[in-house]
Copies of this chain bind each other. A is one copy, B any other.
């Protein structure tokens, strides 16, 4: 893996807490800071294309993500995304050819103690350089085919979708 393209769209992974508003909001993408602090042995470039809760991501947004990924020559792509509509965005990326694309995110904000963010980014990074061309989801320690996975909202985890 010469270089990793990282496209960020917002989601829980980037949520921060604003005490003056007694509210969380999607903040700056966390992944660049995390990878720098970890000292990873690959080059990466972050394109912060959206900053949304994934419930608010529209079909137009998905087309924007698809076009952004397609326009870059990089072969290995990681997309950070809210979990609620991650599967739909993964499916919208299916037409992109010749690239290995892995979507990931977090069930708890990266800024939280015990967040799954660093582990999930690790899973995605391990998968993106090991798999052939295609679109994948890395959540809960598994690499999922977007056609066969769903988020179980009540249990707050990804699981196989019997379909």
Interface residues of A (CB under 8 A from B): 1, 12, 15, 17, 19-20, 22-24, 34-35, 37-42, 53, 55, 82-84, 107-109, 111-114, 116, 118-131, 138-143, 153-154, 156-159
Q: Are B17 and A22 in contact (CB under 8 A)?
A: no
Could you say which residues of chain B place their CB within 8 Å of the CB of A139?
41
What residues of B have a CB within 8 angstroms of the CB of A109 in the complex? 17, 112
Stoichiometry, copies per complex: 4
Q: Which of B39, B114, B123, B128 contacts A140 (CB under 8 A)?
A: B39
In the assembled complex, how far is the CB of residue A139 from the closest CB belonging to chain B, in whole angstroms? Answer: 8
Interchain Cβ contacts under 8 Å between A and B, 7 examples:
A17-B108, A38-B140, A39-B140, A41-B159, A42-B141, A113-B113, A119-B122
Asked if A22 contacts B138 (CB within 8 A), the reply is no
Partner of A39, one of B23, B83, B111, B157: B157
Residue among A53, A112, A141, A153 facing the most chain B CB atoms (10 A cut-off): A141
Instruction: Check A141–B41 contact: CB distance below 8 A.
Output: yes
Q: Min CB distance, A81 to chain B, in Å?
A: 13
List chain B residues, Cβ under 8 A from A120: 122
Whole-angstrom CA separation of A31 from B100 in the bound complex: 28
CA of A15 to CA of B34 in the docked complex: distance in angstroms?
22
Closest residue of B by beta carbon distance from A106: B19
Find chain B residues with CB under 8 A from A127 CB. Answer: 126-127, 129-130
By a CB distance below 8 angstroms, the chain B residues around A116 are 38-39
Contact of A24 among B23, B37, B157 (CB under 8 A): B23
